[in-house]
Amino acid sequence: MEFRAPWEFGSILPALPLLHRAPKGDGHPVIVFPGLSANDGSTGPLRAFLATRGYDVSGWHQGFNFGPRAGVLQAARQQIKDTFEHAGRKVSLVGWSLGGIYARELAKELPHVVRSVITMGTPFAGSPKSTHAWRIYELTRGRKAEHEAGTFDLPAAPRMPTTSLFSRTDGIVAWKASIQTPCEINPHTENIEVVASHVGMGLNPSTWWAVADRLAQPEGKWKRFERKSGLHGLVFPDPHR
């Protein structure tokens, strides 16, 4: 299924007329975290699109993501704080796969700084081995995948509006591992299904639309994602099916 990724990226061009109709935001800062073994180049197209929607977007500026090695989370935490102080506004965090774990956990630490969290194909709810990438993670990280799961309460949602984008046809992460269950401390959580591969999720038009739609919500006025009829209904499957 992951061989679809180049076609997903190729579908961006014919989808541009529709994507240019995606909601625009209020210019608040957004930081995008890449997935395992990826760098800011992988999120460049998504960040460029979000910039057209009016956001002050940046990558994580730490090269390739080989897991939370010494200094990685500290640098990311400082980047979020510095961005908040420079902009004078709360920061939204977007994370792809492992990058979504960073976004969620850092948001839990910095609720006064983070405005919203959006993850794409992020395995926070299942076993550490609910992803086919766990061997790569252990090889690059130098420790067992279960170690991080024991250090952080990954299934718990951050306190701010939190959206998880998932795909039943994700060839790397078991889709149920990306489902946020109802949370007592935060009623503003949701799961949005897209039709995408894991590798292509951040290069998929439906993902881009969903991210832009969620970021465009006025602060303090969160509403659940609305799946509309027509073409919109085709690219966002019925959540009750």
From 92, 163, 152, 158, select the one nearest 122 (Cα to Cα): 163
Which pLDDT does position 1 carry in this prediction?
52
Residues 6+ away with beta carbon under 8 Å from 99: 32, 33, 34, 35, 38, 43, 60, 65, 122
Global confidence as pTM: 0.89
Q: How far apart are CA 208 and CA 136, in angstroms?
A: 27
| Angle, vertex CA 239, rays to CA 13 and CA 187, nearest 5 | 105
Query: Are the CB atoms for 160 and 183 separated by under 8 Å?
Result: no
More confident residue, 24 or 10: 24
- Give domain 2-16+29-235's CATH architecture: 3-Layer(aba) Sandwich (3.40)
pLDDT tens digits, one per residue of 151-170: 788 999 999 999 999 999 88
27: confidence class by pLDDT, cuts 50, 70, 90: very high
Q: Report the amino acid identity of residue 45.
A: P
| Cross-strand bridge partners of residue 166 | 193
- What is the pLDDT of the chain when averaged over all its residues? 87
Query: At residue 230, does pLDDT exceed 50?
Result: no
Give me the count of residues in the chain: 241
